[in-house]
Amino acid sequence: MKILPVILLLSVLLFSCTETEQPLLEEEILEIDLEEEIDEEEIFEEEEIEIIPVIWQNGDGSLQNPFQIETAGNLFYLSQQVNDTLKETPNDYYYKYFRVVNDINLASKPFQSIGGLKNNYEFKGHLDGNNKIISNLYINTPNARYTGLFGKTNANTTFKNIILSNVSIIGGDKDTGGIVGNSHSPLIDNCKVEGTITGGRYVGGIIGYANTGETRIISNCMFEGNIVGTENVGGIAGYTRAGYMNYCTSKGSIAGDYRIGGLSGDAFHFEMNNSSSVAVVQGNLVTGGLVGEIITGNIKDSFFEGSVEGTKMSGGISGKTSSSSSIVNSYNVGTIEGTEYIGGLVGSMNDTSIQKSFNSGDIIGSSIVGGIAAFVATSTDQSHVKHCYNSGKLSGGVRVAGIAGLVDRGRVSYCYNLGELPDIQDSSKVDQIATYSFISDELDENNTYYLGNANGTKQKTSEYMKSIDFLNGLNNLDSFWKMDGTPNQNNGYPIHVWR
């Protein structure tokens, strides 16, 4: 029996078990860390989301049993079908109903707008987003004509309860929107978009170009984020032709060159009710807190609380209004800044009435600056500023006034000014109420007042302007004004009954 080799083997094993482990060298640790980072990158690449277009599995497309959009692949499939260039007439899903049933992550994968790849490619169905969140929509088609989740739709399509989160949309020269680029839809209701949208003309947070009949309704819609375009750019719609916009809001920034608005860049034969914006609105020509330009439109019970930065024709409600338009029960509390035709509510108004409205935001301009309207003109005796007040501070050098910067064949009545004016002692340049092109217009001014140190025909003391006698004079047998109560909304001066 060979005892010595066995003893030696046991000694070696015992020594190896009791020997203290040596610390790793710094180079060895770095090598291990790099290997771990490489492994993590490999894992991330393996987990990267791939979206394959796939047809929906549930529903028959009827109102009672709509097609169910369950995955990102279903949306990619819908886009593929409506834009199928291999077919002479792609599937437009005429009168088919769709319903989103899950939150969907589009993973910022390049997406082709549903419809609009060619001019005759339209989506003609209905989509209920079911308040599910569709996130990370990414569209980058700078050469496209129609851009949005949906590019182009017809006069039967309706959208409701759609929520888009973290969108990044880059459209082409025309018709770019969050929900739809070019829409003839009769109803777009309860839709919300958050993110960044960039395009050329007709760019909107919800709709780029809304073109339809008198009964179209855009309601309960909201945009939050940044919008950049060139012309006709708005927080909800770039351009609205006919119909109604009700209970819509925007926040963030909206920027462009011509006809830029917090809610709509341009509006024709249009009504807005109970809507608002707290956005930063930036433009060059015709910039408004709510609407850039209004032609034959009405705004009621709406307000602006952001800021407007424009060069010419800028206002807290609209940059320019004309053709039997009206603004009622509305107000601005934001700062309005520009060069000329800068107004608390409207920059330039022609054949327009502003009634029972007010401004309390500061107004910064150079020439033709007004607390309510900068320029008031008419060819049909329709331009009238009535039952309004201003409490915002005004700055400028020529034609600066508490209510209307320059009146040319228009009227101002039953208004008062509390706002501070530039210290220029020239009534042709600065006036507490308005400056006029014609003496006859000035003679039409009646029941207008401003805050001063003594009681005169127009000048009134603070004490008197807070009295019941002053209130009765403003109302003149009407009941548009009331005493400022609790909570104090206007430092004790009369406020409108609707507040």
Of residues 339 and 90, the one with the higher pLDDT is 339
Picking from 7-16, 219-228, 324-333, 372-381, which range would have the lowest pLDDT averaged per residue? Answer: 7-16
Mean pLDDT of the chain: 90
Q: Which residues of 2-37 are buried (b: 16+ CB within 10 A; e: fewer)?
A: eeeeeeeeeeeeeeeeeeeeeeeeeeeeeeeeeeee
Task: Please say if the pLDDT value at position 78 is more than 90.
Answer: yes
In order of 22, 44, 47, 103, 197, the CA distances from 36 in angstroms are 22, 12, 17, 33, 39
Q: What does the pLDDT average to over 248-275?
A: 97
Picking from 160-164, 380-384, 417-421, which range would have the lowest pLDDT averaged per residue? Answer: 380-384
Residue 219 structure tokens: 């309601």
Distance CA 223, CA 56 (A): 29
Looking at residue 346, what is its pLDDT? 98
Element of type H or E holding 76: helix 72-82
- DSSP for 312-368, please give it: EEEESSEEEEESSEEEES-EE-SEEE-SEEEESSEEEEESEEEES-EE-S-EE-SEE
| pLDDT bracket for residue 32 (50, 70, 90) | very low
pTM greater than the 0.85 cutoff: yes
* CA-based torsion, 323, 345, 197, 155: positive or negative: negative
Percent of the chain at pLDDT > 70 equals 90
Q: What does the pLDDT average to over 327-351?
A: 98
Task: Please say if the pLDDT value at position 427 is more than 60.
Answer: yes
| pLDDT bracket for residue 302 (50, 70, 90) | very high
Residues in the chain: 499
Tens of pLDDT, residue by residue over 13-22, are 333 434 444 4
Looking at residue 412, what is its pLDDT? 96
Looking at residue 484, what is its pLDDT? 96
Q: What does the pLDDT average to over 177-201?
A: 97
Looking at residue 193, what is its pLDDT? 98
Task: Please say if the pLDDT value at position 451 is more than 60.
Answer: yes
Looking at residue 119, what is its pLDDT? 76
In order of 13, 28, 406, the CA distances from 487 in angstroms are 90, 71, 35
Looking at residue 47, what is its pLDDT? 58
Rg (CA), the chain: 31
Q: What does the pLDDT average to over 285-291?
A: 98
